[in-house]
Chains A and B, each alone.
Chain A
Amino acid sequence: MPYEDSHLSDEDLLLAADGELPLPRMKVVNEHLAACWDCRTRRARFEATIADLVETRHAILDPQLPPVAGRRALLKARLSELAAASGAGRWSRMFRGLAVRRVLAFGFAAAVVAFAAVAVIDRWRFQDSSAIVAQGPLEPSRSLTPGATRQVNLRDVCGGAPDEGTARVVPASVRRQVFQEYGMNGAPPNDYEVDFLITPELGGSNDIHNLWPEPYYSTVWNAHVKDELEDRLHEMVCNGQLGLGAAQHDISADWILAYKKYFHTDRPL
């Protein structure tokens, strides 16, 4: 027997477990392991230690990981800014080589095009907002949905308040009442989220004054976009970057404005 007096090194065992050995050496190691209980036992201990280490890291680090949505949206905003800035830089370098007359002529033409574009966009926005009004409100009515909160503190908000789940439940009767108040009895309910103006994660309550029918689709500023804002504000509040009161105020005063403010963008990402 070739392996009676010699055993595999620790390094060979680990390299084999990690799939890092060259194939010929792997074959030798596997043959040895098939014959040697000692080395298999050592390998099992290594594997158990690795498992303990992995488990410990996850137990310690994973609870700290915040939801990804807010940061993902922020990254997209920053990338757009960066792309715009780098594009502008490239154009300014390009124009440096042109004659001033041509630049001025180009500028004039660009201004004309921009003016026409603004006119078209304005018209489009006007038409778009008319369509939105016919389908449902972009933003909640100040009188019907001024926003309402429950008694919470930072610990409740950031530590996962026990009543958070309860606060998320909107009874069917209240949902119907919301549609009724907004004069939208005939609207298809699946196209709307009866949304919290101040999200429960920021201390919003399920009082009817905190609820309105928000379109999922049809508009640029829809329920999915607001969800991103909610994640972002929650994260900022829990990181100590923003006060809970300020977050509640900004999202209830004008959530679209708040989105623009906290994502540094004029349009949803």
Chain B
Amino acid sequence: MTVPDSTGSLSRVLTATAKTTSDSLCSEVEREVVRLFDDHRTRLLRYVLSIGLPIHDAEEVVQEVFLALFRHLQLGRPRDNLRGWLFRVAQNLALKARQASQSRPDHAQLDEVVAASPVDPAPSPEQQFAFSQRQQYLLAAFRVLPLRDQYCLHLRAEGLRYREIADVLEMSLGAVSISLTRSIARLERADRG
């Protein structure tokens, strides 16, 4: 009969405890990631789409973002401004994916998507015409904005605060403010026709 190795037993107990703790931490992080996915998926997806990726690629990018978030949280990295972090990673992955596919020019986004979109059958022809006219003016003005200004607008439209936009686009707070003011002023002139 072998005499029990007390050091080995202790080691096994500690190992088992460590594994249990690690597993429970993992599942806690998993749950947190899924909760953040529920909160932010739609806004992220819309932002990635507005950068010009087709829907399938955009969905893949969003999945990758949350897998990266899992690794980020698992490694105990900073949790402050997680929303900004999500959008920054989404943007980097989206730009990389778009560059890889080489499928769209830099000023893709809204106007190209609108051309391919089905027309909403609900409004009357007059309403539809009026909406399209305003839409066309806006889109024409939007298209000639510098790319960074377009991203600022998209991010603001998705509810990000100026500080978060500054983090995502690596700009100063003042630059975000100037960009948004300039863009809205231009769009406002276009919107008036």
Minimum C-beta distance from A87 to chain B (A):
6
Across the interface, do B33 and A79 meet the contact criterion of CB distance under 8 Å? yes
Q: Main SS of chain A's interface residues?
A: helix
Contact with A along B147-186 (1 / 0, CB 8 A): 0000001101100011000000000000001101100110
Partner of B184, one of A14, A20, A109: A14
Across the interface, do B55 and A239 meet the contact criterion of CB distance under 8 Å? yes
Chain A residues near B37 (CB-CB < 8 A): 72, 75
Interface set, chain A 118-156, CB cutoff 8 A to B = none
- Whether A35 is near chain B, meaning CB under 8 Å from some CB there, is no
Size category of the binding interface on chain A = 35 or more
Across the interface, do A14 and B70 meet the contact criterion of CB distance under 8 Å? no
Partner of B187, one of A53, A78, A90: A53
Contact with B along A69-84 (1 / 0, CB 8 A): 0011011101110110
Bound form: Cα–Cα A81–B154 in Å: 33
Q: Known interface pairs A14-B181, A52-B138, A65-B46. Does A106 touch B34 (Cβ–Cβ under 8 Å)?
A: no
Interface set, chain A 82-116, CB cutoff 8 A to B = 82-83, 86-87, 90-91, 94, 102, 105-106, 109
Partner of A102, one of B11, B26, B27, B154: B11
Minimum C-beta distance from B99 to chain A (A):
21
A-B contact pairs, 17 of them (CB 8 A): A45-B188, A45-B192, A46-B188, A53-B138, A57-B50, A60-B113, A63-B117, A65-B42, A65-B46, A71-B62, A75-B67, A78-B63, A79-B34, A82-B71, A86-B71, A87-B19, A87-B26
The 4 A-B pairs at the shortest CB distance, nearest first, are namely A83-B26, A49-B188, A11-B181, A239-B56
Given contacts A18-B180, A45-B191, A52-B138, 5 further A-B contacts (CB under 8 A): A49-B187, A53-B153, A71-B41, A102-B8, A102-B11
